[in-house]
Amino acid sequence: MSRIELAGVRVAVPVDADSGPREKVVLEGIDAVLTERRVAVIGANGSGKSTLLRLLNGLVEPSSGAVRVDGLDASRETRAVRQRVGFVFTDPLSQLVMPTGREDVELSLRRRHRDRSERAAAAQEVLARFGLERLADQSVYELSGGERQLMALAAVLAVDPAVLVLDEPSTLLDLRNRELLRRTLATLPQQVILSTHDLELALDAERVLVVEAGRIAFDGEPTEAIGFYRNLCGAGSEAL
Ligand SMILES: Nc1ncnc2c1ncn2[C@@H]1O[C@H](COP(=O)(O)OP(=O)(O)OP(=O)(O)O)[C@@H](O)[C@H]1O
């Protein structure tokens, strides 16, 4: 597994304000070393989960502190870090830039396979692995939200990153596709770090971070983390 280290991380963003503070603190005091195979990040809307994940491949830079992936600085050695860390966005249309899923998977593979026919064969193999061949030549705009999300996941996995970061991957999925996603994640050899409001998905993790108001409020075993989060939300700790 990779060693992902967040050391003294603070993220503050400028805000337009004539009076009052000119920056908003999104994350503060983030210290964690992630080496587990499955890590989930849970927390309320706006608590800072997406920002935390975006730090991991340099999509967001810390205002202070550092993020390192296997010793590589995510802000300064972004290219090398992005080769290790694949990122799947919540909204697949932020990611799928080509007209069809097949072209998108081929685009992901352009560095790995310079030869066109080799690239096409590799793309076909990836699409088949995810049961997406049937949808591969349709416009991405004609796919359902869930189908698009699976296509975006396939396009990222095509290049076999060591670490897969997923920002709320099950949001658009129906029950069947959510189960397909859970099974897919369970069998992937990659280290997986995901944010989710789906507490069942969080239960599959080995370690769960609960983010509250920009800080890691709890870090530990899934059942305890979910109990902590439920108490935080005032929901008690009844069954899921
Ligand atoms: N670039 C930015 N400029 C201004 N505010 C930002 C920026 N990035 C994040 N924020 C704010 O920081 C807070 C945390 O955002 P983030 O998207 O990380 O939350 P989240 O926990 O992923 O939320 P959700 O569960 O709703 O997706 C929010 O209040 C958000 O509006």
- What are the contacts of 43-47 at 24+ separation with CB within 8 A? 43/195, 43/210, 43/211, 43/212, 43/217, 43/229, 44/212, 44/232, 44/233, 47/211, 47/212, 47/213, 47/214
Q: Which amino acid is residue 195, in one-letter code? A: S
pLDDT tens by residue, 75-113: 999 999 999 999 999 888 888 999 999 999 999 998 888
Of 14-18, 64-68, 104-108, where does mean pLDDT reach its minimum?
14-18
Pocket (CB within 6 angstroms of ligand 1): 13, 24, 26, 43, 45-51
In the chain, the domains with their CATH numbers are 4-97+162-232 (3.40.50.300)
**Pocket probe mutation, ligand 1, options 50, 53, 59, max atoms within 8 Å of Cβ:** 50
Q: Which amino acid is residue 215, in one-letter code? A: R
pTM beyond 0.80, yes or no = yes
**Pocket probe mutation, ligand 1, options 23, 26, 87, max atoms within 8 Å of Cβ:** 26
